[in-house]
Amino acid sequence: MQVILTFDYELFFGTSTGSVQKCMIEPSDRLLAIAKKHQVPMVFFVDVGFLIKLQEYKDQYPNLETDFRQIVAQLQEMQNLNCEIQLHIHPHWEKSRYDGKKWLVVTDGCYKLSDFPDAEAEAIVRKYHGFLTDLTGKKPSTYRAGGWCIQPFEQIEKVFQDLEIEKDSTVFPGGKFESEHYQFDFTNVQPFGKPYRFQSDVTKAEENGYFLEIPISSWEFSPLFYWRLYILGRLNPGDHKMIGDGSFLAQPGRKKSVLLHKTWNHVSSDGYYASQLKKQARCYQAKQVPVFVVIGHPKGMTNYSLKELESFISKTKTVYKFINYQSCSL
């Protein structure tokens, strides 16, 4: 079985974005140290809209110039360690700004590409793809939608094909969510399924489709898991407090839902989720799923999750093949 370790490289989008240092640089340095020690690749989906905003404001604010330089240096280190940098789009940066002290994030009516007219959405994709290509010297070929908001895909189908973005890794089978700002529905995708080709609908397999969906692995979590997650966070914050210093975008009703009902969610290296990686990978291998994709967020890492992630890699790197998307063979 092939394993792909992925991380969405970004700030928070709630009432506080947090700092570049705590949400991106510090935890990613610790992740890269693990990658280097164990000689395994990782994939970082970079929130390009934020980098564009940093470039826009950095000449006006020295602290933002420092942030931008640190990020560029870290992206270079990722590439030096054979880690992939791929495209991640949160289009709300189009309407967000810096007021001299903090980022003022606007999400109303602009959190997902489908909030924009088709021509604007296409222009955003081209701009972000071009910026990341110029910054890294490599064209991104794999996409992950911000907030998993890839539907409706037909809006961006043509521009993705023009830019040769051939792979997507947004879907986590069985997942579904709806809120004021965003929604997604992957309940039509069978959990524990194989990667599949698609064309206009990211949840519908088409044998001759141009695009390849390599789903984030998913898992049915029990309410007991979430009770443990929340209790441990309060009892042992030293191990379980996030390194990132911001706050999440509100998800009304989600906490109550997961504490009362079984829930399909993504396989993750964030926080207490990392405790399940060994068991989940064994299950995927037993079901003969060819690719096991783990999602994480540097901002969401904890001391506990970094230890668990390294333990997972150390104990399984001779059992599974750790790869990136470019070398994914099916």
In this prediction, residue 250 has a pLDDT band, given cuts at 50, 70 and 90, of confident
Decide if 278 is inside a domain: yes
| 252: confidence class by pLDDT, cuts 50, 70, 90 | confident
What are the residues facing 2 on neighbouring strands? 291, 321
Residue 207 has pLDDT above 80, yes or no: yes
Give domain status of residue 294, yes or no. yes
**Residues 320 and 284: beta-carbon distance below 8 Å:** no
CATH of the domain at 189: 3.20.20.370
Instruction: State both tokens at 330.
Output: 């099916």
Asked if the peptide bond before residue 152 counts as cis, ω within 30 degrees of 0, the response is yes
What is the pLDDT at residue 2? 97
Q: Which residue would you say has higher pLDDT here, 181 or 290?
A: 290
C-alpha 65/C-alpha 155 separation (Å) is 35
Q: Is residue 36 part of a domain?
A: yes
pLDDT, mean of residues 262-287:
97
Do 188 and 204 contact (CB within 8 A), yes or no?
yes
pLDDT tens digits for range 303-326? 999 999 999 999 999 999 999 999
Mean pLDDT on 237-264:
87
Q: Where would I find the beta strands (DSSP E) of the chain?
A: 2-9, 43-47, 84-89, 97-98, 103-104, 142-145, 167-168, 176-178, 183-185, 196-198, 211-213, 218-221, 263-266, 291-296, 321-322
Q: Residue 328: its pLDDT value, please?
A: 83
Paired tokens of 122: 């296409």
Domain limits for position 162: 2-322
For 257-277, give one letter per residue: b (16+ CB within 10 A) or e: ebeeeebbbbbbbbbbbbbbb
Question: Contact, 166 vs 211, CB < 8 A?
Answer: yes
d(CA 317, CA 206): 33
The tens digit of pLDDT for each residue in 126-155 reads 999 999 999 999 999 999 999 999 999 999
Amino acid at position 106, single letter: V
CA proximity to 53, closest of 119, 97, 111, 113 = 97
With respect to residue 231, please indicate whether it lies within any of the assigned structural domains: yes
> What confidence score (pLDDT) does residue 140 get?
98
> Is 327 within a domain?
no
Would you say residue 330 has pLDDT above 80? Answer: no
Asked if 63 and 53 count as a contact pair (C-beta separation under 8 A), the reply is no
CA–CA gap between residue 45 and residue 297 (Å, rounded): 9
Helices 62-80 and 26-38: crossing angle in degrees, nearest 10, is 10
Q: Is residue 328 domain-resident?
A: no
Given this model, what pLDDT does residue 232 score?
Answer: 85
Q: For residue 103, what pLDDT is reported? A: 97
Instruction: Answer whether 227's CB lies under 8 Å from 262's CB.
Output: no
Across-strand partners of 88? 47, 144
In a domain? residue 330: no
- Given a cut of 90, whether residue 47 has pLDDT beyond it is yes
Indicate whether 58 belongs to any domain: yes
Total domains present in the chain: 1
Q: With left for phi above 0 and alpha for psi between -120 and 50, is residue 189 left, alpha or beta?
A: beta
- What is the predicted pLDDT for the residue at 299? 98
